[in-house]
A and B are shown apart, each in its own frame.
Chain A
Amino acid sequence: MSADSSQTILEVDGLKVYFPIISGLMRKVRGQVRAVDGVSFDLRVGETLALVGESGCGKTTTGRAILQAVQPTGGRITFMTREGDRVSTISAARDVQSIIRQEIQLIFQDPFASLNPRMTIFDIVADPLMANRLSRGRELEERVTEMLRLVGLSPDYMRRYPHAFSGGQRQRIGIARALIMNPRLLIADEPVSALDVSVQSQILNLMQDLQEQLDLTYLFISHDLSVVQYISHRVAVMYVGKIVEIAPTDDIFSAPKHPYTQALLSSVPIPDPEVRTRGGALEGEVADPANPPSGCYFHPRCPMAEEICRETEPPFAEVSPGHFSRCHFYADLDLPGVPE
Chain B
Amino acid sequence: MTNDSDTLIRVEDVRTHFFLDEGVVKAVDGVSFDLARGATLGVVGESGCGKSVLARTIIRIVPRPGRTIDGAIWYHRPSEGGGERPIDLASLEADGAEIRDIRGGEITMIFQEPMVSFSPVHTIGDQIVEAVTLHRNATREEARAIAVDTLRRVGIPNAESRIDEYPFRLSGGMRQRAMIAMALSSNPTLLMADEPTTALDVTTQAQILELMADLQEEFGMAMMLISHNLGVVAQTTERIIVMYLGKVVESADVRTLFRDPKHPYTQELLKSVPKLRRRRQTERLAAIYGSVPSPYERPAGCPFHPRCPQFMAGECDVIEPTLKAVSEGHSVSCLLYSEETDS
Question: Which A residues lie at the B interface, using CB under 8 A?
Answer: 54-55, 166-169, 196-202, 204-205, 208, 223-227, 229-230, 232-233, 248-250, 253-254, 263-274, 276-282, 285-286, 337-338, 340
- Of B78-86, B188-196, B269-277, the stretch lying at the interface with chain A is B269-277
- B276 and A225 contacting across the interface, CB-CB below 8 Å: yes
A200 pairs with B272, CB closer than 8 A = yes
The chain B residue sitting closest to A288, CB to CB, is: B171
Compute how far the CA of A217 lies from the CA of B277 in the bound complex, rounded to whole angstroms.
24
Interface 1/0 per residue, B166-207 and A, CB below 8 Å: 000001011000000000000000000000000001111111
User: Considering the chains assembled together, what is the distance between the CA atoms of A254 and B276 in angstroms?
Assistant: 11
Q: Which of A225, A264, A268, A271 has the most CB of B within 10 A?
A: A271
Contact of B287 among A198, A265, A276, A282 (CB under 8 A): A198
How far is A224 from B285 in the complex, measured between Cα atoms in Å?
15
Contact residues of B between 257 and 278, Cβ < 8 Å to A: 258, 268-270, 272-278
B235 in complex: contacting residue of A54, A55, A201, A270, CB < 8 Å: A270
- Asked if B338 CB lies within 8 Å of chain A CBs, one says no
Q: Please tell me the number of chain B residues within 8 Å of chain A, measured between CB atoms.
A: 48
CA distance A209 to B201 in the complex (A): 30
Query: Which B residue sits closest to A209, measured CB to CB?
Result: B284
The reply to whether B268 and A198 form a contact with Cβ atoms under 8 Å apart is: yes
B269 touches A269 (CB 8 A): no
Q: How far is the CB of A245 from chain B (nearest CB, A)?
A: 15
B343 at the interface (CB under 8 A from A): no
Q: With A205-B287, A273-B258 given, is the CB distance from A254 to B278 under 8 Å?
A: yes
CB distance from A201 to the nearest CB of B (A): 4
Chain B interface residues toward A at CB < 8 A:
46-47, 171, 173-174, 201-207, 209-210, 213, 228-232, 234-236, 254-255, 258, 268-270, 272-281, 284-288, 291-292, 294, 307
Q: Max chain A CB contacts within 10 Å: which of B209, B213, B287, B288?
A: B287
Taken together as a complex, chains A and B put the C-alpha atoms of A281 and B314 apart, in Å, by: 51
Contact of A281 with B203 at beta-carbon distance under 8 Å, contacts A198-B46, A272-B258 already known: yes
CA distance A235 to B133 in the complex (A): 51
Contact B272 A201 (CB under 8 A): yes
B207 and A338 contact, CB distance less than 8 A: no
Q: How far is the CB of A302 from chain B (nearest CB, A)?
A: 12
- Looking at the complex, which one of B173, B258, B276, B287 makes contact with A201 (CB distance below 8 Å)? B287
Q: A265 to B210, alpha carbons, bound, how many Å?
A: 16
Inter-chain contact B173/A54, CB cutoff 8 Å: no
A201 touches B202 (CB 8 A): no
A201 x B285 contact (CB < 8 A) = yes
A196 touches B291 (CB 8 A): yes
Contacts of A270 in B (CB 8 A): 231, 234-235, 275-276
Q: How many angstroms between the C-alpha atoms of A110 and B205 in the bound complex? A: 21
Pairwise interchain contact A278-B213, C-beta atoms closer than 8 A: yes
A277 touches B291 (CB 8 A): no
Please state if A230 and B274 are interface contacts (CB–CB under 8 Å): yes
State in angstroms the CA–CA spacing of A202 and B74 once bound together: 41
**Which A residues lie within 8 Å of B207 (CB)?**
281-282
Distance (whole angstroms) from the CB of A306 to the closest CB of chain B: 21
* CB-based nearest A residue for B172: A55
List 6 extra interface pairs beyond A232-B280, A269-B232, A338-B276, CB under 8 A: A197-B272, A205-B285, A264-B203, A267-B206, A268-B276, A277-B206
Q: A197-B269, A264-B202, A282-B207 known; A250 and B280 CB under 8 Å?
A: yes
